[in-house]
């Protein structure tokens, strides 16, 4: 059977399951909050154009207003100063929007310590059990943070010292950018970096190093708990905003059930 016919048949029989990794996008979807003097993104808002009324008797539609980095979204290399010569979100090849994905589960560690940082040794140990990270694929970092996504306060988990959410150490970010075969890195948190990464050297190492290396970010993912450690295929579809630094995206995973 041709591969695509087999895929359609498997989807129909649910032997391949489609898992939505996307957070619902609304005015309540958490957004990152930077301190003064930095600019901030805005949440989603809808402005009604018509709703079966005088403005349009037969149709309903809205204008949408939001930031490129609101909700489940895709970071293009040009988002960071280190990647300023890299691709914008419209230039990311469509062929890269469908890619294999692995899931590294550190939800227990993040529950015990919201400032938990992934280290190279954690990944090496995972590779010892599951094999190498996928060439040209996504490494998805499960921390259990998606259960907090209904509340901006719980999701950002900030106190007087700033936000406290799990992330990646500087050394590990450097390794992911320079040595790991992955195309991109995905998280459940508001960004790809730890909440405390503003104080790292360099600050925001995942953004700085991965985007600087031409790799991609995928954030505010949900339902990673429903994915196997290896074998999923992720379809991540940002809008091709010309010149854009990123875009809200629909992220779906295909998972084979035996």
Give catalytic residues, as residue numbers.
79
Closest by alpha carbon to 144, among 170, 112, 169, 100?
A: 112
As a dihedral over the C-alpha atoms of residue 51, residue 53, residue 59, residue 60, rounded to 10 degrees, the angle is -10
Q: Smallest distance from the beta carbon of 117 to Mn ion, in angstroms?
A: 19
Separation between Cα atoms, residue 166 and residue 201, nearest integer Å: 17
* 207 touches Mn ion (CB under 5 A): no
Kindly indicate which of the ranges 3-11, 72-80, 126-134, 143-151 contains the residues binding Mn ion, using the contact rule CB under 5 A: 72-80
In the complex, the smallest distance separating the C-beta of residue 238 from Mn ion, rounded to whole angstroms, is: 11
For the CB of residue 242, give the shortest distance to Mn ion in the complex, in Å. 18
6 backbone φψ class: left, alpha, beta (φ>0; ψ -120 to 50): alpha
Task: State which of residues 75, 88, 146, 193 lies at the interface with Mn ion (CB under 5 A).
Answer: 75
- Reading the block at residue 62, the tokens are 């809205």
Q: How far is the CB of 78 from Mn ion (least distance, A)?
A: 12
Comparison of 69 and 215: residue with beta carbon closer to Mn ion:
69
Q: Which stretch binds Mn ion (CB under 5 A): 69-77, 82-90, 104-112, 250-258?
A: 69-77
Instruction: Tell the smallest beta-carbon distance from residue 191 to Mn ion (Å).
Output: 5
**Sequence-ordered list of residues with C-beta below 8 angstroms from that of 37, at least 6 positions apart, any chain:** none
Single out the residue of 29, 31, 67, 69 in contact with Mn ion (rule: CB under 5 A): 69
| Site size with Mn ion, rule: CB under 5 A | 2
Place of tokens 């991109």: 184
Q: Which is nearer to Mn ion, 72 or 122 (CB)?
A: 72
Name the residue whose CB lies closest to Mn ion: 69
Q: Which stretch binds Mn ion (CB under 5 A): 16-24, 53-61, 64-72, 119-127?
A: 64-72
Name the segment binding Mn ion (CB under 5 A); options: 61-69, 82-90, 175-183, 193-201.
61-69
Q: Is 215 in the site for Mn ion (CB under 5 A)?
A: no
Return the number of the residue (75 or 116) whose C-beta is nearest Mn ion.
Answer: 75
Please give the residue ranges that form the binding site for Mn ion (CB under 5 A): 69, 75
């Amino acid at each position: 059977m041709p591969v695509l016919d087999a895929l359609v048949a498997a989807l129909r029989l649910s032997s391949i399951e489609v898992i939505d990794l996307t957070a619902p996008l609304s005015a309540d979807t958490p957004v990152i909050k930077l301190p003064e003097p930095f600019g901030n993104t805005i949440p989603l808002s809808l402005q009604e154009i018509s709703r079966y009324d005088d403005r349009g008797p037969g149709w309903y539609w809205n204008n949408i207003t939001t930031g490129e980095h609101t909700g489940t979204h895709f970071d293009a290399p040009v988002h960071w100063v280190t990647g300023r010569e890299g691709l914008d979100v419209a230039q990311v090849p469509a062929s890269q929007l469908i890619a294999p994905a692995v899931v590294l589960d550190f939800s227990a560690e993040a529950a015990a310590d919201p400032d938990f940082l992934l280290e190279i040794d954690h990944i090496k140990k995972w590779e010892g059990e599951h094999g190498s990270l996928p060439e040209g694929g996504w490494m998805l970092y499960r921390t259990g943070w998606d259960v907090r996504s209904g509340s901006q306060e719980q999701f950002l988990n900030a106190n007087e010292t700033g936000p406290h959410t799990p992330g990646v150490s500087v050394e590990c970010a450097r390794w992911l950018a320079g040595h790991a075969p992955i195309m991109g890195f995905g998280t459940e948190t508001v960004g790809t970096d730890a909440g405390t990464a503003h104080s790292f050297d360099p600050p925001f190492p995942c953004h700085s190093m991965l985007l600087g290396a031409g790799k991609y970010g995928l954030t505010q993912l949900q339902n990673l708990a429903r994915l196997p450690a290896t074998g999923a295929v992720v379809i991540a579809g940002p809008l091709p905003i010309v010149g854009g630094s990123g875009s809200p995206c629909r992220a779906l995973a295909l998972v084979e059930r035996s």
